[in-house]
Amino acid sequence: MSQTGSRSGLVVRGHGRHYLVEADDGTRLLCHPRGKKSALVVGDQVRFAVSGDEGVIEAVEPRRNLLYRQDVWKTKSFAANLDQMLVLVAVEPVFSESQLARALIAAESAGIRTAIALNKTDLPGTAAARERLAPYRAMGLTVFDVALKADPAGSRATLLPWLNGQRSFVLGPSGTGKSTLINLLVPDAQAQVGEISEALNSGRHTTTHTQWYWLDSERQTGLIDSPGFQEFGLQQIAPPDLARWMPDLREHMGHCKFHNCSHQHEPGCGVIAAVEAGQIAPSRYRLYGEILAELGAKRW
């Protein structure tokens, strides 16, 4: 690696105040931000200078988008500059629709397109799980059926065309098969993680960190694995905007009599009419009410 000038790179992993940065030629270097700069996230494009066997991050390029969750007390940024997000759920354990809906709202409000993959479709509960996802299909989301362990080749063939050439963020609750997915799609996942652990001097397993993988040697298809799909706070969203980030509700908002309708009790509400007509799933409308209450809708 050249010792002079500033170079451009991609943050492929964070670890406290250090970041692992991949230069355009693929080499990776442990870097520190200069001064007390705000935190970087995986997917950030940076300019860095080499200094000895480490690097100093001098600048961060403006972010195209940032996927994060905001709880009442803290904000957790997942990754930046994403093309898309894949939410992995499974027939078993039964997924929380609230978690799913929240992740989708966060992505939608950040301008990141999403697809869902339903794993373990070799199990008998598949029909019921598909049924629970019906509202999501109906609102136009792609839902892939996969069986990552039972049918690895078929699952690869299903997912790869969608992933190809994109930077995809993968989110999924524990036990869903995320490790199976990574190992299936990233042939040298262990090596990519091993190299990183070495660079960070951490022997610890890396699943507690957001982690960038390349699926191809040309480094065109990126997969970002992230732990943590528990409570998904959406405090970043202003209550009046919430329905806009739920495509099935958004579709009917234009019919509301009041332009500042909260879709809770107003007369002439297009959303309530659609719920009554069976065009919006009751579970979706219930989640809307729950999240709205949580966002402090009383301020309205």
Ligand X SMILES: Nc1nc2c(ncn2[C@@H]2O[C@H](COP(=O)(O)OP(=O)(O)OP(=O)(O)O)[C@@H](O)[C@H]2O)c(=O)[nH]1
Binding site for GTP, residues?
Answer: 119-122, 172-180
d(CA 114, CA 100): 11
Tokens 């982690």 label which residue? Answer: 211
263 binds ligand X (CB under 6 A): no
CB 221 within 8 A of CB 164: yes
Bind-site residues for Zn(2+): 256, 261, 263, 269
Query: Rounded to the nearest 5°, which phi and psi values hold at 237?
Result: -95, 130
120 binds ligand X (CB under 6 A): yes
122 binds ligand X (CB under 6 A): yes
Among 180, 210, 221, 262, binds ligand X (CB under 6 A): 180
Residue 293: other Cβ atoms inside 10 A:
12
Closest approach, Cβ 151 to ligand X, in A, equals 7
Closest approach, Cβ 125 to ligand X, in A, equals 10
123 binds ligand X (CB under 6 A): yes
Partner in contact with 252, chosen from Zn ion, ligand X, none, beta carbon below 5 to 8 Å by kind: none
Closest approach, Cβ 73 to ligand X, in A, equals 25
210 binds ligand X (CB under 6 A): no
- Contacts of 289-297 with C-beta under 8 Å, sequence gap 24+, read 289/264, 290/98, 291/101, 291/102, 291/105, 291/234, 291/242, 292/239, 292/242, 292/262, 292/264, 294/234, 295/234, 295/235, 295/237, 295/238, 295/239, 295/242, 296/239, 297/239, 297/262, 297/264
Closest approach, Cβ 206 to ligand X, in A, equals 12
150 binds ligand X (CB under 6 A): yes
Where does this chain bind Zn ion (CB under 5 A)?
Answer: 256, 261, 263, 269, 271
Bind-site residues: 119-122, 172-180, 256, 261, 263, 269
CB 63 within 8 A of CB 44: yes
Partner in contact with 269, chosen from ligand X, Zn ion, none, beta carbon below 5 to 8 Å by kind: Zn ion
Shorter beta-carbon distance to ligand X: residue 109 or 176: 176
Helix (H) or strand (E) holding 56: strand 54-60
d(CA 282, CA 279): 9
174 binds ligand X (CB under 6 A): yes
179 binds ligand X (CB under 6 A): yes
Q: Kindly list the residues in this chain that would bind ligand X in the complex (CB under 6 A).
A: 119-120, 122-123, 147-150, 172, 174-180
